[in-house]
Structure formats: C-alpha cells, structure tokens
Structure 1
Amino acid sequence: MPKLKIRKSAKKRYKLIKNRKFIRKRAFKGHLLEKKSKKQKRNLGTNIIVSTSDTKQIRRMLVC
C-alpha cells in the first residue's frame, strides 16, 4: 500500500491545538476591505475553532 500523503492546502489552513481541536482563519478578510467597518475587520482577524463535525475530515486530510 502506498504511503499516505497529507494535503498541503489543509496543512496551510488549519493548526492543531490541545484537546485535539483545530483552529482556522476567518473568511472575508482578503479584499474589498474599504467598505467594511473597523469593528468587522478587527473581528475577522481573529482565529476560530473548527466545528466538531468538520474535525474528522480535517484529521483525514492531515493524516494525524
């Protein structure tokens, strides 16, 4: 059986923290920032914990 490879795109997007949870960046912070308020841009800059229903798929992509 061939060696399982990790998905590089998932490795760049998710980070494993304690309690076997993943964190990710929020969306909508890449462009068109002129029309967004300071509060919205500040809140989009924070990290968020991935939902538990998605962790199984992410763990499979990262082979961990």
Structure 2
Amino acid sequence: MPKLKIRKSAKKRYKLIVGKRFIRKKAFKGHLLEKKSQKQKRNLSKSVVVSKSDTKAIRKMLIC
C-alpha cells in the first residue's frame, strides 16, 4: 500500500491545539480593506477554534 500524503493546503491553514482541536484564521482579510472599519479588520485578525463538525474532515486531511 502506498504512503498516504497529507494535504499541504490544510497543513498551512490549520494548527492543532490542546484537546485535539484546531484553530484557523478568519476570512475576508486578504484585500479590499480600505472600506472596512478598523474594528472589523481587528476582529478579522483573530484566530478562532474550528467547529466540531469540521474537525473530523480536517483531521482526515492531516492524517493525525
């Protein structure tokens, strides 16, 4: 059986934290930032914990 490879894109986007949970960055901070308020941009910079329903799929992509 061939070696299983991890998804490199998922490895760059998600980080494993304590308790077998993942954190990710928020979307909508890449461009068109001039019309967004400072408060919105500040909140988009924060990391969030991935929902339980998505954790299984991410774990499968990263083969943990």
Instruction: Please report the TM-score for the alignment, with normalisation by the length of structure 2.
Output: 0.99
- Percent identity at matched positions? 77
The CA RMSD over aligned residues, in Å, is 0.3
Higher helix share: 1
Count residues with an aligned counterpart.
64
Partner residue, 2:32: 32
In structure 2, list runs of 5 or more residues that go unmatched.
none
1:1-55 deviations in Å (ceiling 9; x for gaps): 1111000000000000000000000000000000000000000000000000000
In structure 1, list runs of 5 or more residues that go unmatched.
none
Distance in structure 2 (CA, Å) of the matches to 1:2 and 1:26: 35
Instruction: Please report the TM-score for the alignment, with normalisation by the length of structure 1.
Output: 0.99
Segments of 4+ moved more than 3 angstroms: none
